[in-house]
A and B are shown apart, each in its own frame.
Chain A
């Protein structure tokens, strides 16, 4: 069984170690714990729920594989397993590659159909949808690091400290990239 205090959920590292020892329930717990976040981060890069699910599964498998390889080393050094950071980094890379492959076949922007707006008038709704589509295209056209920081912050709702950990950068660097990303998006909407 996974170690953890009464009423206290076990850490990702403890779950990874338990899974490494053959506890499949720990595997399930890790998937359940992170699948909602992964859905939020991946949906920007996909066309629909099926794509998102497929990418989420691949991200989990790759993260588990990374954990399996790193566990012996981390156990020796008594280090924490940054499972969530691995998962997010893998998910972003998978999403980026998926988007690249998708746009290779079609120039249609990713999922404008999702932008259902609650605007009152049809004209206003159309304008709003067009503005959303333009800004979302601009997000995908941001430089890599800015895009990664922006999507983890805005889509994932992560604190800058976790964004930084997931991307292997400092918190200050994450904030700077976010600032530049927002600036670029403002410029894109003013054109």
Chain B
């Protein structure tokens, strides 16, 4: 067995018979073996193994929760489409059911636009009431002013 062959045995669960013999004979490979042994982690402890208890159930539960979320997200576009279609249908129905406007060609009905055009401009002039003192019922008695001469010092600074 060569040193290269021995090196490739490292990490395997156990050394072969030839490998063990080479290890006894080769100092360099003993050094390599020691380094790999230092790098290797110790055996899995019981506490570490115990921590994995129930991993199967918790992983399955996490997977199912993830699947539910994914299904919900996948349903969002179809829900949005359904909502949009519903809105369109509702708008159409409301349009159909809106209160009917009076028909322009119904007998005895004059169209609004035609009425507006036919109005005499004179009739549209606003009626302004005529204002007069009599109409306001104001007399001289109601209007009085006190008039006096300015004092001799008024305006002096």
Contact = CB atoms under 8 A, between A and B. Distances in A.
B149 to A, nearest CB: 100
A61 B31 CA distance: 41
A75 B50 CA distance: 37
Contacts of B42: 114-116
Contact of B32 (A49, A60, A138, A182): A182
B38 interface: yes
Interface residues of A, number: 44
Nearest to A111: B41
Contacts of A27: 56, 59-60, 63
A52 B8 CA distance: 28
B39 A185 contact: yes
A61 B60 CA distance: 9
Contacts of B52: 35-36, 39, 49, 52-53, 56
Contacts of B8: 160, 175, 178
B59 A60 contact: yes
Nearest to A137: B39
A185 B49 contact: no
Q: What's the dominant secondary structure at chain B's contact region?
A: helix
A138 B55 contact: no
A20 B12 CA distance: 34
Contacts, number: 106
Contacts of A131: 38
Interface string A180-191: 001001100100
Contact of A49 (B7, B12, B51): B51
Interface stretch (A92-100, A101-109, A151-159): A151-159
Determine chain A's interface SS by DSSP, over half rule. Answer: helix
Interface string B22-65: 00000000011001101111101101111110011011101100
Interface in A114-156: 114-116, 131-132, 135-136, 138-139, 150, 153-155
A49 B47 contact: yes
Given A57-B58, A131-B38, A135-B38, A43 B44 contact: yes
Contacts of B44: 36, 39-40, 43
A50 B51 contact: yes
A26 B97 CA distance: 58
Contact of B38 (A53, A56, A60, A132): A132
B40 to A, nearest CB: 5
25 contacts: A27-B56, A27-B59, A31-B56, A36-B52, A43-B41, A43-B44, A43-B48, A49-B51, A49-B52, A52-B51, A53-B52, A56-B52, A57-B58, A60-B59, A114-B42, A116-B42, A132-B39, A139-B39, A154-B11, A178-B8, A178-B10, A179-B4, A182-B7, A182-B10, A189-B35
Given A61-B59, A131-B38, A155-B40, 5 more contacts: A52-B52, A114-B45, A138-B39, A154-B10, A175-B8
